[in-house]
Amino acid sequence: MEISNEIVPCVILAGGKGRRMGGKEKALIPLLDRPLLSYVLEKISGKVAPIALNINTNLEQFTKFGYPIIEDPIKGHLGPLAGILASLNWAKQHNKDWVMTLPCDTPFLPHNLVQSMLNAKNNQPDVDLIVAKSRGFNHPVIALWKSEINIKLKNALDEGIRKIDIFTNQLKIVYVDFDNIDNSIFDPFTNLNSPRDLIYAQQILGKLPPFFGLAGWSGSGKTTLSTKLIENFTKIGINVGTLKHAHHKFDIDKKGKDSYNLRKAGARPMIISSKERFALIQENDESEEKSLFEMLEIFSKNPIKKCDIIIVEGYKNEDIPKLEVYRPIIKKPLLFTEDKNIFAIASDVKIEASIPTFDLNNINSITDYIIQKYKIS
């Protein structure tokens, strides 16, 4: 690879509303106790300068990062194009011909991103925009922009253009293709838009094991299969964690015991420990049950024993990978036709399906399939 000594400015775009994150400031949402923004800053440290943050709300929360804050020049949360216009204007004010833009929610940016984009720019002098690409998809927010197109962008916004692709179709573009993260299955431009994405990010970082759910109608044998899989995994040295959702009130404590009295008195949490085991009991806020992804995150913080895989039961409608357990005696339809997350079926009868199927009683074959699917060693 050519090495360029050129340094370009960079603006990290964090001016969006983060609706799928509950309206929180996405840049400040923690991933393993660090704000998402810090991962992006770490990836570009020493490779770009100066750096600015495009922020539109709660500006005071970002002063601790020590970078200039620039707001959208056109108010009303018009989308990423408004943040890009702010970036182009800022670059022009600093007499810079080019500026890089990056989203605040992409913690896995490739180490050669900046250098590769600069090389593409220098090899194609008559160009307006250098755009990152991966897996056949373009990422126009992860780009190197010629600052002089700020007037053209301002006019486009005034004309009501909001979609970034519609605007960039007017420009001369070069695309730079990037591989998966360290030859893994993960896209380096994975952006985190939901609590689910945060969980998968922990998997990429190696802090959370793979997980899958068991889907099936009541009485199909989900718990029976889960128990047999756990026994099988354990025999071959694979540590399994489980997460089971209860649709009713439950209590693992006994009324009148010391632990029960301490918890009822207000202990939050209450931990009881012995030579054989320990238990942590935490009362939920009555107004809101913990989400599946909040519960899964507990596994990444378990200091005692790390799991190799997690089996989830009782979250039938959640957007996670699932193995369907099906028995026709239940007289209910198969679920996989309506749930794209179901990757295989275990049944006590032969099933014709577009996904892998297994004999419900052949636990070894199901175990082997899961080991191969999730590359458990």
C-alpha dihedral, 325 to 328 to 331 to 337, nearest 10°:
60
Q: How many domains does the chain have?
A: 2
Confidence (pLDDT) at 6:
86
Q: pTM, whole model, 2 decimals?
A: 0.73
1 lies in a domain?
no
DSSP 266-282: T-SSEEEE-SS-EEEE-
Between residues 282 and 5, which one has the greater pLDDT?
282
Between residues 288 and 11, which one has the greater pLDDT?
11
pLDDT of 303 above 80: no
CA separation for the pair 66, 69 (Å, rounded): 9
| Tokens of residue 241, six digits | 């964690």
179 lies in a domain?
yes
Confidence (pLDDT) at 280:
85
Whether residues 178 and 77 fall in one domain: yes
DSSP 80-94: HHHHHHHHHHHHHHT
Phi and psi at residue 138, to the nearest 5°:
-90, 150
Number of H helices, E strands in the chain: 10, 17
Whether residues 247 and 156 fall in one domain: no
CA separation for the pair 227, 218 (Å, rounded): 16
pLDDT of 181 above 80: no
Whether residues 117 and 138 fall in one domain: yes
Using only C-alpha atoms, the chain has a radius of gyration, in whole angstroms, of 25
CA separation for the pair 265, 288 (Å, rounded): 21
Phi and psi at residue 296, to the nearest 5°:
-60, -35
Q: Which CATH number characterizes residue 228's domain?
A: 3.40.50.300
User: Tens of pLDDT along 316-328?
Assistant: 888 899 999 999 9
2 lies in a domain?
no
CA separation for the pair 354, 334 (Å, rounded): 12
State the chain's mean pLDDT as an integer.
Answer: 90
Domain end residue (candidates: 169, 200, 231): 200
pLDDT of 19 above 70: no
In this predicted structure, which of 217-231, 307-321, 347-361 has the lowest mean pLDDT?
307-321
Residue 102: strand, helix, or coil: strand
Report the percentage of the chain scoring pLDDT > 70: 94
Mean pLDDT for the stretch of residues 240-252: 86
Whether residues 229 and 188 fall in one domain: no
Range of the structural domain that residue 72 is part of: 10-200
Taking alpha carbons only, the member of 249, 158, 214 closest to residue 335 is: 214
